[in-house]
Structure formats: structure tokens, C-alpha cells
Chain A
Amino acid sequence: MNIAVCIKQTPDTTTRIQVADGGGEIVDDGIQWIISPYDEFAIEEALKLTEANGGEVTIVSMGPARVEKTIREALAMGAQKAIRIDCESIPNDPGVTAKVLAEVLRGRGFDLIFTGRQAIDGDQAQVPGRLAHLLDWACVSVVIDLAIDGDKGTALREVEGGSERVHFTMPAVIGANRHLNEPRYRNMRGIMKAKRIPIEVVQVDAPAPQLEITSYSYPPQKGERKLFENGASDVAEVVRLLREEAQVI
């Protein structure tokens, strides 16, 4: 079973995202880059499947040269191959990403493609569904449990208040969620091995974006904050404020 895992380099979750003056862009300087956390569940699942069934795992990431550091981190978990799709900056339009991924992945003999349920920067959750449509494959996303049996599969996906049991046909694009597995740690041996794996760099003509982010801003500031330091004896006042000022209860 040959599996591609599409990963995205994103800012670390502890990053205080900074909007540039004028709101035109997000400031890149000083950001600590990581593998988008959901993608680690995707990598782990792909490794488990190839360990059980044979085959190889190929890490695929779109971005400038700086994403190779993130690709190496993914390789260090145990993947065998890697592709970087070269571009100046990672697209803001998930439609562009999906089309480029479809073009690069089509015809390479993959049986299964993993992504994260969404990348934690754009939070778009569009690439798995769009990619599957372009390939005419099945797609199940936000997956917390997965079983594949020949040309069929079963998955659990998270939904409001519980989960849905889903049957699907292979080949498929699977969007991984937390709880799908426990991603393994990168050990020294894996890190050393990853250093020697060549990263194939692919050039593509990306299609034109269909959306534009015209400005970024911080969420609106709310009213004055009040701190009550006397514990239980302040509760009556807080409840009164919630009812009379905030009018939420």
C-alpha cells in the first residue's frame, strides 16, 4: 500500500500571531514553524498501515525552501520519501492547494492519501474534499478511527455531540483528527536517517487564486474586565451583572 501524506508547515500553537501595520498580512518573522498538529496523526496512521501491509509513505508539502525543515521532521517519524512542491509562499486559497496536489499526486500510484482535518493556520478544512473530488476518489475527514479492507473502508468521523460511522470505497482521501492514534516521537535514529533522504522538488504552474484576503485584524476588544478577589462572597454580584449588564442568563 503506497500512501501520500500531505502536510502543512504552520506556526507553533503558542505563537502570538501578529498582524502587520495596515492589516495587509501576517508577520512571518520570528515564527517557530511546526507540522500542523493534525498532520501528525495523518503521518502516524500512514506509517501504521504500511508497517502492517507493506508499501511506502511519501510526505508531500507545498511551500518555499523553509518547509524542508518540517518535511525532515515528518520523515524522522519513519516515512520513506518526500516531495516539496515549490512556491514562493503557501497559498491562502485551499482551492489552489488542492489543484496543485491533485496534479502532483495523480498517476504516481498512491492507494491512499492522508491530510489533516484542517491546517491550524487557515482553519479552512477544504483540501481533503476538494482533492478527492479532483481525483474522483472517496473522502472522509475528521476521522478518529479507520479500518481498510481491500477496496473498502470504514471510518468514524467526529460530528456534533458524537461520531458518524462511515463506509467508503477505495482509493480515498482521509482527513485525520486527534484521537485517531498517538503519534510516535522522533528518535535520534529517525532524525539521522531522515537527513539522508532526498527531497524531490517539483515545480508546477499554480492556478490563479479564486479568493483574496483583503485584510487581517485582531478580534474586537470587549468591554472592561472585572476581577473579583473574594471568591464565593462575590458570586451574587457576578450573577447580577450577568443578568442585568451582560444579559446572558
Chain B
Amino acid sequence: MILIISDIQEGKLRSVNAEVYTAAVALGKETGQPVATVLLGASGLKELAATAGNYGVEKAIVVEDAGLAPFSPDAYAAAIAHVIRETGASVVLMGATFTGKDVMPRVAQHLDVALVQDVINVRDEGGLVFTRPMYAGKVHADVRVQTSPALATIRPKSYKPAEQAADVAVEPMSVSVPAAKVQVVAYEGSSNGKLDVTEADIIVSGGRGMQGADKWGMLEELADLLGAATGCSRPVSDDGWRPHEEHIGQTGKTVSPDLYIACGISGAIQHVAGVSSSKFIVAVNKDPEAPIFKVADYGIVGDVFDVVPVITEEIRKVKG
């Protein structure tokens, strides 16, 4: 069985789940295995199970236990390890969100098995092969695991969600939840409700060429129009022009959007590493020699203050 750990935040399924369900259903077809998901929390999970069915998942195991609220990564890991043992799952997948990447190493150590984090592709080649970026995306590695079950986290935006209806059988399971050593007591969103760069289809990003915090209105307007997240280079977050969660690159977030628009960013190797798995990169820079043009699919040589407002205007036209 292929088991997906559904990532639930504040009572909702994160967007990455649809991508992981899609990856799992495809792998299930390839390897002839059934696909199930497990939803864990204190209550109200059955309603979420139907969503998994929209992506072809046939079974939802629901673990409701008062000990699972507030969220605790160690209590969750213990509960997940229990479910894995109980179901005899051979492959276990979760989204490589901050939560997924925090919980799954603990699960892996519970079971004493390998874990492959931040996978961008998984396939069967006489045994599972997981492809993952290393060195912030400067190279890709193919990884095989020697232990069972095979555990992996799937990087957001690596799979396009594919809807395919299935009837989900909901099955409750009870587990013993240990006392938590770590508890999440509050979420403090400094840009609450805004799309995170790791989950966005489009990112509008600014560098030092934007000249100051007060110039970001222009980028936010473009981002709003595109339903995009805003990102930035490291000096921009270091100088406090933008909140640190927007910092992209080798020492910030690595992102894989469909479209990355870099405005006034030089394209230093540490920045480019973090955006190398973007499907399309557009760069606006006044310096024709800027290294960002070596990685941009479409480069526009020009002043951001002239070019960006025209991009917004043109996109508004085509979007009608």
C-alpha cells in the first residue's frame, strides 16, 4: 500500500496534498498498489477525506485523538509510525512542507528506515528511484532506499494535481498517543493569509535594484494581478525591506513556481540556486551583463521602474 500523510493546517488541507495524492495515485498505477491517506488530528477530519477522493485516493484512515491537539511533531510522529506498522504500508509520502520535513525524520527514526526529503520525482525502475535537488538545486541526485517502508517527502509544486474521482472508504483507527515534548501553541503569521513562496504558482521577486521598501507597491500590484506571492533576494530581507520569510536562495527558501519574475536581482549563485527548478524565469535588469540573464528564459534589459508598470498593464490587457 502507498500511504500519504495528509498535511492539515488550521483545519484545512494544505495545497500540497493534492499534488502528493496525484503522485501517489500515479505510482500506485505503476506498481499495482492501492493508495490510502491518513488524516490525523483532534476532530473534524472526516469532512476532509472526500478531497482525497477527488484525486483518486480510495481509502482514508482517520485518526482522531484529543492528544493530537495542539499540534505536536513528536506525538504526530509516534501516531504516524503506529499507522504505518498497522497498515503494513510499503511507501509513505508526505508534502515537504515545514511540517512534513519536521515530522518525517522522527517517523523514519521510529521505524529505523531511510527517508528521502524534498523529492521532485518518484518512479519505479526495478525498485523506486527518488530524484531530489541537492546543493540548493545546483545538482539533482537519484536516490534508492534499502529499507522498507520507503519514506519520502514531496516538494511542493513538483506534481500537477490531476483530478480523478474515486469513492473514498473512510476507516477510523485508534492509536496510543504519547505525551508531547514539543507543542505548537500559536501560529504567528507576519503576512497572515498571504501565499507562501514555496506554494505559489507565480512569484514576483525583487532585489536591491528596487532601491527601497517603499518601492514594493509596484511588485505587489503585479503579484495581486497574477495571484502570485512576493519574494526577494537576501540583502533585501537583511535590510528589513521585506519580511524574512520572502528570502529566496541557498540560505533562504528554494522554490519551484511555474513562473519566477526577478526584478532588480543580479542573479548571484546563491540566489539562482534557490530558483533553478522554476519552470519559467523572467528577469528585468538594467545591466545586460547581469548573471540573472544566464538563467532567465526571457530577459528584459531595462529599468524596473519603467518596465514593471508596463508588465502589469499588458497582463491586465490580456487577462481582460
Q: Which residues of A come within 8 Å of B, CB atoms?
A: 11, 13-17, 19, 26, 37-38, 93-95, 98, 120-130, 132-134, 137-142, 144, 156-169, 172, 178-179, 209-219, 222-223, 225-232, 234-236, 238-243, 246, 248-249
Q: Residue of B at shortest CB range from A120?
A: B250
With A95-B114, A166-B182, A226-B299 given, can you name 15 additional A-B contacts, CB distance below 8 Å? A17-B138, A93-B114, A95-B113, A129-B73, A129-B109, A158-B245, A162-B187, A162-B245, A163-B188, A167-B182, A172-B181, A212-B146, A216-B139, A219-B138, A248-B259
Note all chain A residues with C-beta closer than 8 A to B143.
211-214
Cβ-neighbour of A227 out of B188, B195, B299 (below 8 A) = B299
Name the distance in Å between B2's Cβ and chain A's nearest Cβ. Answer: 18
Cβ-neighbour of A219 out of B137, B182, B198 (below 8 A) = B137
Contact B147–A239 (Cβ < 8 Å): no
Interface residue? B118 (CB, 8 A) = yes
Interface centre among B138, B282, B303 (most CB of A within 10 A): B138
Identify whether the interface residues of B are mostly helix, strand, loop, or mixed: mixed
User: CA separation between A168 and B179, bound complex, in Å?
Assistant: 12
Contact B106–A242 (Cβ < 8 Å): no
Given contacts A164-B188, A232-B306, contact A139 B74 (CB under 8 A): yes
Interface residue? B122 (CB, 8 A) = no
Q: Residue of A at shortest CB range from B277?
A: A219
Note all chain A residues with C-beta closer than 8 A to B282.
238, 242
28 contacts between A and B (CB under 8 A): A15-B135, A16-B269, A17-B135, A94-B115, A122-B134, A127-B105, A130-B109, A132-B106, A134-B109, A158-B245, A161-B245, A164-B184, A165-B184, A210-B145, A210-B146, A212-B146, A214-B129, A215-B141, A219-B140, A226-B299, A229-B288, A231-B300, A232-B306, A235-B310, A246-B259, A246-B280, A248-B201, A248-B259
Contact A218–B299 (Cβ < 8 Å): no
Note all chain A residues with C-beta closer than 8 A to B103.
129
